[in-house]
């Protein structure tokens, strides 16, 4: 499949916590890939696409961000629901923190995409 994204996604396969409403317990999920423009996330629950208009994602205890996203596509595989998300609202500082997080924790992913300006 030909990559059509202008910004590369980094494969991280990182367990995370997705909070879709204040006061609710985070939903366990896996961030399969991420970029400053969006991410692919998988989880055991089937969610309405509207929940992604405002969510909080905790990648670590020290790194969480609030964002809004549109669901670009949705799929099911191996009893998991997979969502391709394009950020529609995210702070510029959080975009920078995503890049720094990947650079520090997944340096090989940055090297794979050097030619794309990642």
22-59 pLDDT, tens digit each: 888 999 999 999 999 999 999 999 999 999 999 999 99
Q: Is residue 1 part of a domain?
A: no
Q: Is residue 4 part of a domain?
A: no
Q: Is residue 2 part of a domain?
A: no
Q: Is residue 96 part of a domain?
A: yes
CATH of the domain at 90: 2.40.10.220
Across the chain, where does the E strand assignment appear? 10-19, 27-34, 38-43, 55-58, 64-77, 80-90
Q: What is the distance between the alpha carbons of residues 99 and 7, in angstroms, rounded to a whole number? A: 11
Q: Is residue 69 part of a domain?
A: yes
Q: Is residue 66 part of a domain?
A: yes
List the domain range (segments joined by +) for residue 76.
Answer: 10-116
Q: Is residue 98 part of a domain?
A: yes
Tokens of 83: 């969502």
Note the pLDDT tens digit of each residue in 8-20. 789 999 999 999 9
The reported pLDDT for the residue numbered 110 is: 63
Domain tally for the chain?
Answer: 1
Q: Is residue 5 part of a domain?
A: no
Q: How confident is the model at residue 104 (pLDDT cuts 50, 70, 90)?
A: very high
């Amino acid at each position: 499949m030909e990559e059509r994204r202008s910004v590369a996604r980094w494969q991280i396969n990182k367990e995370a916590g997705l909070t879709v409403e204040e006061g609710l317990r985070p939903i366990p999920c896996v961030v399969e890939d991420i970029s400053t423009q969006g991410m692919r996330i998988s989880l055991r629950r089937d969610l309405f696409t509207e929940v992604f208009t405002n969510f909080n994602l905790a990648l670590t205890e020290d790194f969480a961000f609030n964002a809004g996203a549109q669901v670009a596509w949705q799929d099911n595989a191996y009893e998991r629901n997979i969502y391709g998300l394009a950020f529609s609202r995210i702070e510029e500082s959080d975009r920078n923190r995503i890049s720094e997080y990947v650079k520090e924790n997944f340096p090989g992913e940055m090297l794979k995409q050097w030619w794309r300006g990642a």
